[in-house]
């Protein structure tokens, strides 16, 4: 299927690894010009070399307004941004009563403000041109609130609200804003987490995952981690479907008990 993105400019924040990398790869495979950012030039260079000749990376820290402008200016050098994927985020397992104010601030800065800063620039230009698509990569944790990951869940819930609010600004235009909500995915960071948990529990990774789905996510229908490539495909489909605006697309493996 031709998604009509050949030659289009796509920005994927934090696109060197994980789900962001899979999204960048999916767009690149469809012929798009893909821009990724990060804080390590070597990692960006390696990722771009692996993605292909139409992938370009720039060191730009979206924890600052200056970094967001650097990314926007770099992307503008290739042309107007057609697709913006807000993918940057952090997570860890923690005790709510032990999470400091400064750690809460870090969560809001990484999981929300990075997206706000770049969207404030790029979405404004899209509205002026009357064309474009923005997607926020949230998480099943936004709906299935997780007690031992409270800052993560709260900030991902806020992201859903942000995406819907910005979609309201597109009324009557050819600009769209959507949310994408993945479930537990076999990214490098998630795999490291389960490897560490397995070592701590004295079990194999397979046994640890089996027990995870039995005890922590018994409602999960897949009973396995999701291949990041599936999210890459899903985001391309979502962002190119002109019937989809202001919506949240679930890709959680059936964990959440809901028919919508």
Catalytic residue ranges: 152
User: H or E segment at 86?
Assistant: strand 83-86
Q: Which two tokens stand for residue 76?
A: 């503008």
Angle (deg, nearest 10), helices 41-51 and 18-29: 40
Which residues touch 64 (CB under 8 Å, ≥6 apart)? Answer: 117
d(CA 42, CA 57): 10
Report which of 163, 176, 164, 195 is spatially closest to residue 126, judged by C-alpha positions: 176
How far is residue 256's CA from residue 78's CA, in Å, rounded to a whole number?
40
- If one counts every other C-beta atom within 10 angstroms of the C-beta of residue 140, the result is 23
Q: What value, to the nearest 5°, has the Cα angle with vertex 57 and ends 54 and 58?
A: 145
Contact 135, 86 (CB under 8 A): yes
Phi-psi region of 40 (alpha: psi -120 to 50; beta: other; left: phi over 0): beta
Q: Note the helical H segments in the chain.
A: 18-29, 41-51, 65-76, 101-108, 114-129, 150-168, 188-201, 205-215, 228-240
């Amino acid at each position: 299927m031709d998604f009509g993105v050949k030659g289009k400019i796509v920005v994927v924040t934090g696109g060197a690894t994980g789900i962001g990398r899979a999204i960048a790869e999916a767009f690149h495979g469809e012929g798009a010009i893909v821009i990724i950012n990060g804080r390590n030039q070597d990692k960006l260079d390696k990722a771009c070399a692996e993605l292909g000749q139409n992938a370009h990376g720039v060191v730009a820290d979206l924890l600052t307004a200056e970094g967001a402008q650097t990314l926007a200016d770099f992307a503008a050098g290739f042309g107007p941004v057609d697709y913006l994927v807000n993918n940057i985020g952090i997570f860890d397992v923690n005790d709510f009563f032990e999470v400091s104010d400064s750690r809460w601030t870090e969560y809001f800065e990484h999981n929300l403000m990075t997206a706000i800063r770049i969207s404030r620039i790029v979405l404004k230009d899209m509205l002026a041109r009357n064309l474009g698509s923005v997607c926020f990569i949230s998480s099943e944790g936004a709906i299935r609130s997780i007690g031992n990951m409270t800052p993560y869940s709260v900030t991902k819930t806020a992201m859903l609200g942000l995406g819907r609010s910005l979609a309201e600004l597109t009324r009557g235009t050819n600009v769209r804003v959507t949310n994408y909500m993945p479930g537990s995915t076999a990214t490098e960071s998630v795999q490291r987490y389960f490897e560490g948990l397995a070592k701590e529990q004295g079990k194999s990774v397979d046994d640890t995952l089996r027990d995870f789905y039995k005890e922590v996510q018994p409602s999960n229908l897949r009973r396995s981690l999701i291949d990041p490539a599936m999210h890459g495909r899903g985001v391309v489909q979502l962002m190119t479907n002109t019937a989809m605006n202001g919506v949240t697309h679930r890709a959680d493996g059936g964990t959440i008990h809901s028919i919508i």
